[in-house]
């Protein structure tokens, strides 16, 4: 059986620690970790088995964490201090992601689960992407073709939110809320959610302005951009509605009125999900040609190495990745 591919994340953060804790809890029996075995040992792994290819998972002895060391991984990571930004850790995290994409696209893995990276370490290493989503989008591109359209979704048992814009300044993000961007988000959200359910997903669209603009009194983006995009989606057979006031639509979705919410900006959409508890939140990249999930928290440099990191969000990401892989296989 092909395994899930789990990337180590930033070696100075809690990524290695939560991976080890998930492994010890029996949650990585079908997974291979891409990373540095010494870093994982430092994080508490009792035994590691270095393998050459994902298929070697079948030969790993019980109780050993299977680790695949990507070509070009920087050396000596376990000697770098925990909880501090370092370009070498940023380069290593990027190396693991690149290797995971190569392997999954070559059919050697079923999907990718990524441990948290640190964006400053990425930048210090010269990685030309602000985060996972943008990097995975670029790596998934077919040479000579446009980048695939992808969107970030954050999900837990109570709420699912898909974002139109992500890692941009708020001022720039508002400019990026266009008719095409909203409609494309609705298409991507509908296509993804339709694979998880036997019924057409009910998609609520949150407005951009207070009270969804209040008929143009507080902004007219809902009238000029968002509303027409919703109408266009409905004409395509998508079960979308809105725009609704963003300060109440998430409560309505949580109570079961909608299956997911499309939000215009990063914090508009993610604050409600994270408020419900990061321990169960999962970040999913929609629109990629493979499954990718991640915990919805960061590297937590402030507690790295203290033995206090909670693996619950990673466990949720692993479980959701398995469900999405199974849904893709059925579809």
Q: First and final CA of the chain: distance in angstroms?
A: 19
The DSSP secondary-structure symbol of 166 reads -
* Residue 19: C-alpha distances to residues 22, 43, 58, 213, 328 (Å): 5, 9, 19, 44, 25
Helix (H, G, I), strand (E, B) or coil at 273: helix
Looking at the chain, the domain(s) classified CATH 3.40.718.10 span 1-150+283-331, 157-276
Q: What is the pTM of this model?
A: 0.92
- Residues 6 or more apart from 271 whose CB is under 8 A from it? none
Residue 250 sits at the vertex; the CA angle it makes with 246 and 252, to the nearest 5 degrees, is 110
Instruction: Give the pLDDT of the chain (331 residues) as one tens digit per residue.
Output: 799 999 999 999 999 999 999 999 999 999 999 999 999 999 999 899 999 999 999 999 999 999 999 999 999 999 999 999 999 999 999 999 999 999 999 999 999 999 999 999 999 999 999 889 899 999 999 888 888 999 999 999 899 999 999 989 999 999 999 999 999 999 999 999 987 777 899 999 999 999 999 999 999 999 999 999 999 999 999 999 999 999 999 999 999 999 999 999 999 999 999 898 777 889 999 999 999 999 989 999 999 999 999 999 999 999 999 999 988 877 6
- Residues 6 or more apart from 91 whose CB is under 8 A from it? 74, 125, 126, 127
Domain 1-150+283-331 fold is Isopropylmalate Dehydrogenase (3.40.718)
Domain 157-276 fold is Isopropylmalate Dehydrogenase (3.40.718)
* Residue 13: C-alpha distances to residues 45, 93, 130 (Å): 15, 11, 17
């Amino acid at each position: 059986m092909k395994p899930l591919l789990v990337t180590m994340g930033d070696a100075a953060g809690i990524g290695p620690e939560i991976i080890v804790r998930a492994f010890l809890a029996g949650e990585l029996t079908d997974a291979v970790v891409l990373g540095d075995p010494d870093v994982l040992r430092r994080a508490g792994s009792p035994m590691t088995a270095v393998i050459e290819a994902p298929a070697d998972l079948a030969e790993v002895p019980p109780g050993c964490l299977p680790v695949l060391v990507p070509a070009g991984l920087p050396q000596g990571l376990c000697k770098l201090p925990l909880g501090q930004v370092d370009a070498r850790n940023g380069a290593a995290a990027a190396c693991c992601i690149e290797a995971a994409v190569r392997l999954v696209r070559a059919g050697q893995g079923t999907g990718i689960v990524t441990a948290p990276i640190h964006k400053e370490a990425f930048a210090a290493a010269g990685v030309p992407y602000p985060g996972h989503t943008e990097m995975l989008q670029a790596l998934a591109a077919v040479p000579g073709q446009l980048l695939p359209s992808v969107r970030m979704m954050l999900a837990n048992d109570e709420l699912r939110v898909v974002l139109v814009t992500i890692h941009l300044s708020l001022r720039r993000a508002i400019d990026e809320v266009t008719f095409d961007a909203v409609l494309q988000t609705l298409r991507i959200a509908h296509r993804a959610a339709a694979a998880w359910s036997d019924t057409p997903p009910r998609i609520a669209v949150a407005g951009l302005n207070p009270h969804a603009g209040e008929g143009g009194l507080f902004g007219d983006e809902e009238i000029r951009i968002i509303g027409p995009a919703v109408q266009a989606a409905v004409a395509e057979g998508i079960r979308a509605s809105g725009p609704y006031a963003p300060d109440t639509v998430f409560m309505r979705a949580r109570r079961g009125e909608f299956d997911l919410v499309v939000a215009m900006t990063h914090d508009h959409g993610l604050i409600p999900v994270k408020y419900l508890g990061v321990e169960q939140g999962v970040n999913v990249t929609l629109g990629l040609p493979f499954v990718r999930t991640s915990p919805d928290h960061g590297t937590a440099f402030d507690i790295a190495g203290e033995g206090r990191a909670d693996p619950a969000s990673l466990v949720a990401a692993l479980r959701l990745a398995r469900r999405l892989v199974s849904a893709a296989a059925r579809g």
